[in-house]
Structure 1
């Protein structure tokens, strides 16, 4: 599969982390509250709302209320209906039969041609959509048959997840297809709610539409306890968000920092833990960089007690990483265990010496007159654990004779630096994709700035295994995808550190979610005590 040159939001992509785990606490046993308002807190402003340009979890949180997919994934990762009521899958194409009752938020009928137009727009190089090469294969073509009520998506070569990838692409319709410029500040979708008011940087208010019957698995938006309005509220500070939740200013939020503990202790709060993707170390292997050689990557990995680092990064709430793909993915199995170097400070020092980095007079190693100085790039937007992890890593690597310059940046600046081939050596990242094939855009193909291969990874075994896996489906494909992931970890092209978890906390409200994205038809409001 060819790769897109678009820059994905590596810092906090967080596209899809599936809701799982049981809910406990208050707010679940009351009578349904009718005509209520559900207020959901997100950590940053979503920016432009055009679904063709939305790659960050925060932006998608604002879109998921108003847009649908061709198909959906349930909490077990299984495909269920969406705009399509049935589908026929072949290795190089999938044909969807649309429901006949779908309408856009402006009242117009949604046709297969409308769906095809979404993909044609996405795949037009002039659009420069960051979804291409990550969520949508660049070679994909769309063909509609309005008379038959079908739309067919095809690729020239077999593609393992030709069906599953469509559960990631929001479908616009109506006036938004005629004039895409309006989508930056209003919605034009088939979803259960419509954007009715917005205050950039503060809140986005959605109103329930009538006649919606084509939700995941055929669910409607008229179930008992579903809110009349949904407000997506921008609350950058987690402590503020926790205070708002306790006082009723929010009805649901996601928490991964220090305020998580006090919410977990409150009997008035509904609690649910969900997996939320990995925090990984990505090494810049560009020519002339210290990490261009495996020996130095292995040495700095051996210098870290990864179990201890995982606790520091997640405040003890994380889990051992088992995959590079967010859960639940289509493939099971552990691609991480046994593939990361064990903690061995002595071996780390010996490896650096063997690689030519000799101890210097000030404790920092030197080679050819140059100090072993690394620029460590991270964003505090990944939560307080990102800062704690940075300081821990800098301290441990200093013991091994490595000088670390911490470079804190916004998500945008971090993406700009990595995407332009800028000055960085190692980055703390979270690449949140639900399909193994979507990793290819990050770990193969052209290096930045020509592509999304930010680390300049050149792992021939990974490419071979991935290309072979792409031709298969089901368990045979998964066996190869798992081997491909393992090849990346073994070669330390990426070093998985911890599988993060987030606390989904609510007050008189519950909802399922995929990462930051609320599943709007699962929202249930209850009357307060």
Structure 2
């Protein structure tokens, strides 16, 4: 165990995550959960149904196939993981009780709990873990974000019923922490084989809640797992949840979502609009809970595989013309921080020196475009070789976190320098972005615990693999990403990821926009909400005060 303990200490010292939780308003708490003002009465509350409004609909309840953060709100209730990551970055046991790491860093041997069963009665054991890890890398699974998280997993060996050896193609400083992420939750092999592609509609895990139903675009219902007795250190209640059920209601329209909390139609709702924050803080019947998220901030990616965005000077012109500070202040009223790099503050390797490095400069933008031969026409839009300088900006529907509004503002800002922006808002991001790659600019973000998350976004795609959002192919970036994945010295890793961030900004590969704080508006009757190290809500300790 010595090597794994040492690794965990390194993670703790690196402090890859800083999680801030606040309960605001009259009687609010900042203790890490929403504590009941009713004291003993609240501590005895058992049962009931928590209604929790989601901002968007999950894409699937199969963790291995999901690509959306909103999915994690629901699947965290259904599935468990081998390990858990604490807010200080340390890795602790969950379904795995202990582990050791080989000297070359390429093999992990896990000892597993012997008292766990899946919701369908299937035993949790080494065979189940091997099935899960192999399932993620099986092309037939069509894994999404989980595939990037599990790399460089290669194979597993079942040593005995409750011992498994996991083999990697190369050492990875991110692997153990990634095993704690919800999208690598452990699914029932029996259910996965039975339902196949439909596991996402019939999820079965070992978690504190069991799946009841999912009415498309309406609600998802989960119920207490009465046999549960193996929760991780991130919650106080290690046994079955206090609640009988949770109903996740899908309410995309933000005014309706928050209004439903204020009117009592639901007890809690996520993603509080900035304009509602002050009112909630001052409402004696409501509370505002917040957790910082870390990983990749909301970032606009240029499609470098489409002209003229393969020209660094044209991209730099856009970078100079877009006033990000104004966008963030206008839309988020001081509640969201501006992003400055490809990583968010609080994660290992974040380069604070980039803060303040990019500011709007219309003259510079015009000069760069002039130099590249883009000349303004009679209508004010630039042309070259008979082609208008047009940027196709694609965003999704509904208007999550006012992202559609960002597109509208950028459209106006770029018009000032002669760039026509065509904004397309679509519900079918999967087809437009990930199948047709039909965009010049597209925004995305990712919650993650390790800077190795950059690998899936900026490393050159392997033959036959899904390309990255930017389509970047830079041997220097590739080499740095490969080094960062295996480097064991935290200080050297910081240097590597600093350099990567600087290149991405210098070359205007991206436009970082904002850092997302996860916020929940809740009735004061809802007590015990906690958040994991990535800012996702946990419901093991939740009670509803009578």
Q: What band does the TM-score fall into relative to the shorter chain?
A: 0.7 to 0.9
Aligned with 1:279 (options 295, 298, 308) = 298
Q: Could you say which residue in structure 1 is the equivalent of 2:267?
A: 251
CA distance in 2, matches of 1:196, 1:231: 10
Taking structure 1 as reference, are residues 174 and 366 closer, same or farther at Cα in structure 2, changes over 3 Å only?
A: closer
Q: Could you say which residue in structure 1 is the equivalent of 2:538?
A: 519
CA distance in 2, matches of 1:222, 1:215: 4
RMSD of the alignment, in Å?
2.8
Give the deviation of 1:370 after TM superposition.
1.5
Q: Say whether the 8 Å CA contact 1:98–1:112 is kept in structure 2.
A: yes
Query: Does residue 242 in structure 1 map to residue 242 in structure 2?
Result: no
Which structure 2 residue ranges, 5 or more long, are not aligned? 1-15, 28-33
Taking structure 1 as reference, are residues 471 and 47 closer, same or farther at Cα in structure 2, changes over 3 Å only?
A: closer
Q: Say whether the 8 Å CA contact 1:70–1:81 is kept in structure 2.
A: yes
Q: Say whether the 8 Å CA contact 2:78–2:205 is kept in structure 1.
A: yes
Q: TM-score, normalised by structure 1?
A: 0.88
Q: Could you say which residue in structure 1 is the equivalent of 2:369?
A: 352
Give the deviation of 1:301 after TM superposition.
0.8
Taking structure 1 as reference, are residues 103 and 335 closer, same or farther at Cα in structure 2, changes over 3 Å only?
A: farther
Aligned with 1:214 (options 230, 242, 251) = 230
Give the deviation of 1:58 after TM superposition.
2.2
Higher alpha-carbon deviation: 249-258 or 329-338: 329-338
Q: TM-score, normalised by structure 2?
A: 0.85
Higher alpha-carbon deviation: 39-48 or 353-362: 39-48
CA distance in 1, matches of 2:345, 2:127: 33
Q: Say whether the 8 Å CA contact 1:203–1:233 is kept in structure 2.
A: yes
Taking structure 1 as reference, are residues 323 and 422 closer, same or farther at Cα in structure 2, changes over 3 Å only?
A: closer
Aligned with 2:337 (options 305, 319, 327) = 319
Q: Could you say which residue in structure 1 is the equivalent of 2:110?
A: 96
Query: Does residue 392 in structure 1 map to residue 409 in structure 2?
Result: yes
Query: Does residue 53 in structure 1 map to residue 60 in structure 2?
Result: no
Q: Say whether the 8 Å CA contact 1:44–1:236 is kept in structure 2.
A: yes
Q: Could you say which residue in structure 1 is the equivalent of 2:468?
A: 453
Q: Say whether the 8 Å CA contact 1:297–1:492 is kept in structure 2.
A: yes
User: What pairs up with 1:304-343 in 2 under 5 angstroms?
Assistant: 304-321=322-339, 323-325=341-343, 328-334=346-352, 336-337=354-355, 340-343=357-360
Q: Say whether the 8 Å CA contact 1:375–1:424 is kept in structure 2.
A: yes
Q: Could you say which residue in structure 1 is the equivalent of 2:176?
A: 163
Query: Does residue 363 in structure 1 map to residue 380 in structure 2?
Result: yes
State the SS of the aligned residue for 2:233: helix
Higher alpha-carbon deviation: 430-439 or 484-493: 430-439
Give the deviation of 1:520 after TM superposition.
2.7
Q: Say whether the 8 Å CA contact 1:202–1:233 is kept in structure 2.
A: yes
Question: How many residues were matched structurally?
Answer: 507
State the SS of the aligned residue for 1:236: coil
Taking structure 1 as reference, are residues 311 and 358 closer, same or farther at Cα in structure 2, changes over 3 Å only?
A: same
CA distance in 1, matches of 2:234, 2:97: 8
Q: Say whether the 8 Å CA contact 1:214–1:220 is kept in structure 2.
A: no
Deviations 1:238-286 (A, max 9, x none): 2222122123332222124244443233121121233346221211111
| Greater RCO, CA 8 A, separation 6+ | 1
Q: Could you say which residue in structure 1 is the equivalent of 2:484?
A: 469
Deviations 1:416-444 (A, max 9, x none): 22223433211233244333223222222
Deviations 1:449-479 (A, max 9, x none): 9523122112332211111112212503333
Higher alpha-carbon deviation: 438-447 or 485-494: 438-447
State the SS of the aligned residue for 1:430: strand
Which structure 1 residue ranges, 5 or more long, are not aligned? 1-15
Deviations 1:270-316 (A, max 9, x none): 212333462212111114x1211110111111112221122234343
